[in-house]
Structure 1
Amino acid sequence: MTTLTELYEARVAEGRLKPDEAQRAVLPALERIRAALAEPVKRGFFRRAPEPPKGLYLWGGVGRGKSMLMDLFVESLTVPARRVHFHAFMQEVQTRIHELRKEGVEDPIKPVAKEISDSVRLLAYDEMQITDITDAMIVGRLFERLFDAGVVVVTTSNRVPDDLYKDGLNRQLFLPFIALLKERMEVRELASDKDHRQDRLSGAQVYFAPADSAARAGIDALWSELTPGQEETLTLHVKGREIELPRYYNGVARASFFTLCGKALGPADYLKLAESVRVLILEDIPRLSRQNFNEARRFVTLIDALYEARVRLIASAAAEPEYLYVEGSGSFEFERTASRLREMQAADWGT
């Protein structure tokens, strides 16, 4: 069987990956799990199932290649596995728990965990982060049952385990989950000094005007570079409401101006978005005026949230920033937004 290091080096030789010593350093930790899961399970009445290998919690800064290594690892597996964004997984779990409660199940976490453990031997989570009190209260009991059932967990995160749900409500109730992670998973840092995502955008055009077919082609090329043929829906939960971004992968979201500014969204929604993504592709920003004042006001709020969170912005628009909003109430105040749009085009923005 080809090892993960051999797969990695083959991709480097093909030019599909850029070599990175920090990435190479964590490959043995993933190979340990791959090799253990590849061992045949000997059957027999008196034979006990082998102890599952310890999982892996891989953390590090954005753009370091954690998700790429996860994809490489999952691709190499020969056992039932599922790779899923952690946020999407917890949404599924909450939905299933709600369904079972409606059916009268008193403790739905137990059957939910069994459904999961019956279907996979390994769960690969991308971008583990806990910001929601509901997730925080569920995740400990759920993971304990998954671990006890022999499910191996590999996850990536931008935070060390001790920083999960930092400053969250009733965080003391969450601390046993952090201890469980550190007990059942090897914690490794991907300590690369390279931000490969920024490298891919360095020197690239990130603001396209006008929003024509050439702009669309340019944005499509960047989307392909940042999301290698994979995407999913990201659902944000804000004060009991749901905001769906149908095109999302590994911290990169793509949406139209109308999706984010043509609907009745507010500061809390945009703050949640800025917290949840590292790159936003925003398409088809129109000229702004008194005719679409509400949309313009939301756009200003959105840019402020992205700016403060240092989210990388890729955009197509009807005009250059200074000419987007030239008349009507609010045009003077828009000068700050235009300045921020210019600043956010810098090659080192978001670093």
Structure 2
Amino acid sequence: MLNVHSRLQMHKGVSDPLDVVAAEISDEAIILCLDEFMVTDVADAMILNRLFRHLFSKGVILISTSNRAPDKLYEGGLQRDLFLPFIDTLKERCIVHPIGSATDYRRLGSAQQGFYFVGKHFSTLLKQKLQSLIGDEEPRPQTVEVVMGRKLQVPLGANGCAYFPFEDLCDRPLGAADYFGLFKKFHTLALDGIPKLGSSNRTAAYRFITLIDVMYENKARLLCTAEAAPIELFENIVTVAEAQKISPRSSRSQKSDDADLCVDNELGFAKDRTISRLTEINSREYLEDFEEKLQQQACKG
């Protein structure tokens, strides 16, 4: 969707820019594969129906995976009534296949702690580990350019490695575009001070999930300090159904019992994916693959 919005910016003034963008996409690919399809942004929700109607009319075939059935997409989102026609379009033009599995294959690797350190007192060790990966080069503040002229300030970076306090990446108004820009320039991220996530830092939780998604897609390496192990980071985030299992009362009543319990379907469904990816990112297999690709790139360079 970042790609779509970027293209729309280039076609301002055209009577139907979405038709132009759909034509460009259909010229490039007749089969569109979208992994982890989800809708959380109102700007995306408002254009998806018209965009995909244009794409389908041009013969584009959609293959997608999602944690949500079509009827559950953008559930509880702003102006969802305007999004509902897209669900109808999706169900009309696509065949929905429910795929269930009790096996999380990302957790089957030889999981090790990797560079995931639990406890604030490991901040010094984190920086030492980062410096050992950087080598002799001195880390310094850097600037990364992202889409549409935006810039991301990197507190410390050198030799493909970047250091950020958690607050600088997840407590500021940043999004997927910023994270994609970051991993275009850096292959390793040291993230210091990941807190347990709940209602008190719900927005940061959304950004952290997006950050890990972008990192995983770019096959980057993570060094971090955190308040708890991956599964415990999200223990205060539950779906509505989970909240009702905790207590037969309303989720609002349950929420008042625990000030940091976050009842949020989108976060609740996304957290398992993030826990799984954090586990895989710290597995021996993932880190060995990373090192192999890094050496291959060095040989090509």
TM-score, normalization by structure 1: 0.43
Please tell me whether Structure 1 or Structure 2 has the larger radius of gyration of its CA atoms: 1
TM-score, normalization by structure 2: 0.50
